Amino acid sequence: MKLKRITAVLTAAAITFLPIIHISAEPRQEFQTEEKQYVLIMENAAAYEEAVEKIGDDIIEDTSDLSEKNVIVANLDNSEVKN
Protein backbone atom coordinates (compact mmCIF):
# COMPACT_ATOMS: atom_id res chain seq x y z
CA MET A 1 0.00 0.00 0.00
CA LYS A 2 2.82 2.37 0.90
CA LEU A 3 4.59 1.57 -2.39
CA LYS A 4 1.46 2.48 -4.40
CA ARG A 5 1.18 5.80 -2.60
CA ILE A 6 4.86 6.65 -3.22
CA THR A 7 4.48 5.71 -6.89
CA ALA A 8 1.36 7.87 -7.22
CA VAL A 9 3.03 10.88 -5.58
CA LEU A 10 6.15 10.57 -7.77
CA THR A 11 4.04 10.19 -10.92
CA ALA A 12 1.95 13.24 -10.03
CA ALA A 13 5.10 15.27 -9.30
CA ALA A 14 6.69 14.22 -12.60
CA ILE A 15 3.57 15.19 -14.57
CA THR A 16 3.38 18.51 -12.74
CA PHE A 17 7.01 19.53 -13.33
CA LEU A 18 7.38 18.17 -16.88
CA PRO A 19 5.93 21.29 -18.62
CA ILE A 20 8.15 23.58 -16.51
CA ILE A 21 11.29 21.78 -17.68
CA HIS A 22 10.14 22.04 -21.29
CA ILE A 23 9.46 25.79 -21.06
CA SER A 24 12.82 26.57 -19.48
CA ALA A 25 14.65 24.71 -22.26
CA GLU A 26 13.40 27.04 -25.02
CA PRO A 27 15.85 29.63 -26.36
CA ARG A 28 15.69 33.09 -24.88
CA GLN A 29 14.27 35.87 -27.02
CA GLU A 30 17.49 37.90 -27.04
CA PHE A 31 19.49 35.07 -28.63
CA GLN A 32 17.20 34.56 -31.57
CA THR A 33 18.62 35.98 -34.76
CA GLU A 34 15.74 36.99 -36.93
CA GLU A 35 16.72 38.94 -40.02
CA LYS A 36 14.71 41.97 -41.06
CA GLN A 37 14.95 44.25 -44.05
CA TYR A 38 16.55 47.65 -43.38
CA VAL A 39 17.02 50.75 -45.51
CA LEU A 40 20.22 52.58 -44.58
CA ILE A 41 20.88 56.14 -45.74
CA MET A 42 24.52 57.15 -45.42
CA GLU A 43 25.65 60.76 -45.00
CA ASN A 44 28.39 60.60 -47.62
CA ALA A 45 30.09 58.32 -50.15
CA ALA A 46 32.84 57.28 -47.73
CA ALA A 47 30.32 56.10 -45.13
CA TYR A 48 28.40 54.33 -47.89
CA GLU A 49 31.48 52.43 -49.09
CA GLU A 50 32.41 51.44 -45.52
CA ALA A 51 28.90 50.11 -44.89
CA VAL A 52 28.90 48.17 -48.18
CA GLU A 53 32.16 46.46 -47.14
CA LYS A 54 30.75 45.50 -43.72
CA ILE A 55 27.36 44.29 -44.96
CA GLY A 56 28.67 42.42 -48.00
CA ASP A 57 26.34 39.68 -49.27
CA ASP A 58 23.35 40.79 -47.16
CA ILE A 59 22.63 43.69 -49.55
CA ILE A 60 19.44 42.83 -51.42
CA GLU A 61 18.97 45.91 -53.65
CA ASP A 62 21.95 47.28 -55.53
CA THR A 63 21.02 49.78 -58.21
CA SER A 64 22.84 52.84 -59.51
CA ASP A 65 20.00 55.11 -58.30
CA LEU A 66 20.38 53.87 -54.74
CA SER A 67 24.17 53.99 -54.73
CA GLU A 68 24.19 57.55 -56.09
CA LYS A 69 22.04 58.59 -53.13
CA ASN A 70 24.10 56.53 -50.65
CA VAL A 71 21.17 54.21 -49.87
CA ILE A 72 21.57 50.54 -48.91
CA VAL A 73 18.76 47.96 -48.63
CA ALA A 74 19.89 44.87 -46.70
CA ASN A 75 18.71 41.93 -44.63
CA LEU A 76 20.32 42.28 -41.19
CA ASP A 77 19.84 40.68 -37.76
CA ASN A 78 19.92 42.54 -34.43
CA SER A 79 23.65 42.11 -33.85
CA GLU A 80 24.52 43.45 -37.31
CA VAL A 81 22.27 46.51 -36.86
CA LYS A 82 24.01 47.47 -33.61
CA ASN A 83 27.41 47.43 -35.32
pLDDT in tens, 4-34: 888 888 888 777 766 655 555 556 555 556 7
Burial class of residue 48 (count of CB atoms within 10 Å of its CB; 0-12, 13-18, 19+) = buried
> Which H or E run includes 73?
strand 71-76
Predicted TM-score (pTM) of this structure: 0.54
What is the band of 76 on the pLDDT scale with cuts at 50, 70, 90? confident
What is the chain's Cα-based Rg? 26
Q: What is the DSSP string of 7-24?
A: HHHHHHHHHHHHHHHHHH
The runs of H, that is alpha helices, within the chain are: 2-24, 45-55, 64-68, 78-82
